Amino acid sequence: MIAVCTGAETLLPKVFTPVERKGAAVRGINSAMLQQFIDDTLAQAVEGLDRYPLTLVLDRASIHKNVDSLLQAFHDRGSESIKEILLMPPNAAKRLSPLDNALFHDWKETCRKRCPVTKRTIQRVMADAWNQLPSRLLQQHYKHCGLVRGQDPYFDCPDPTGHAHDS
């Protein structure tokens, strides 16, 4: 699944079936699938947010590394809202990404509550569960990552005096 969220809302996900991944000769998601998702869904969804300028922050998955081509994919689709794409530092996703930082866990738990699922229903269950994540939960995960405007990014530092953070 390719999933995107803001601090207050989820954007439409793309769930690839095993058949689609097998047809693309990949186990997970590849760059071509990401480019197609940007073209089919994400560029339009980003413009629908009606916010400008936007920065897209990605982890360092191999499909994210060519930021110039990703930015060009948005521009080719007529989306000018994304002004820059940043990659998180290595090994930072567990700390900085609301998706990796337990949001996917909450999403999986919601999916599991709809069991049993079948091959025919799994895509719908996954997408519905993603689309129904409440805003308060997204905000909570952004806050936990220190990504809320006005929040002290060092709120959970065990030794702020010793580390001499610039607040």
Highest mean pLDDT among 7-11, 132-136, 157-161: 132-136
Cβ atoms of residues 68 and 31 within 8 Å: no
Q: What average pLDDT score do residues 49-68 get?
A: 88
Average pLDDT, the chain: 84
Structure confidence at residue 120 (pLDDT): 85
Going by DSSP bridges, is the β-strand pair 82-87/54-58 parallel, antiparallel, or unpaired? parallel
Q: Say yes or no to pLDDT of 155 above 80.
A: no
Structure confidence at residue 9 (pLDDT): 86
Q: The pTM is what?
A: 0.75
Q: Say yes or no to pLDDT of 18 above 90.
A: no
Q: Say yes or no to pLDDT of 71 above 90.
A: yes
What is the band of 163 on the pLDDT scale with cuts at 50, 70, 90? Answer: confident
- The CATH number for 68's domain is 3.30.420.10
What is the band of 150 on the pLDDT scale with cuts at 50, 70, 90? Answer: confident
What's the domain range around 125?
2-147
Residue 118 within a domain: yes
Residue 156 within a domain: no
Residue 74 within a domain: yes
- Report d(CA 126, CA 100) in Å as an integer: 16
Residue 152 within a domain: no
Residue 159 within a domain: no
Amino acid at 74: F
User: pLDDT tens-digit profile of 116-144?
Assistant: 888 888 889 999 999 999 999 888 888 87
3-state SS track over the chain: CEEEECCCCEEEEECCCHHHHHHCCCCCCCHHHHHHHHHHHHHHHHHHCCCCCEEEEECCCHHHCCHHHHHHHHHHCCCCCEEEEEECCCCCHHHHCCHHHHHHHHHHHHHHCCCCCCCCCHHHHHHHHHHCCCHHHHHHHHHHCCCCCCCCCCCCCCCHHHHCCCC
Q: Say yes or no to pLDDT of 67 above 60.
A: yes
Q: Say yes or no to pLDDT of 167 above 60.
A: no
Residue 162 within a domain: no
Region label for 20, one of left (φ > 0), alpha (ψ between -120 and 50) or beta (otherwise) = alpha
What is the band of 49 on the pLDDT scale with cuts at 50, 70, 90? Answer: confident
Percent of the chain with pLDDT strictly greater than 70: 95
- Number of folded domains that form the chain: 1
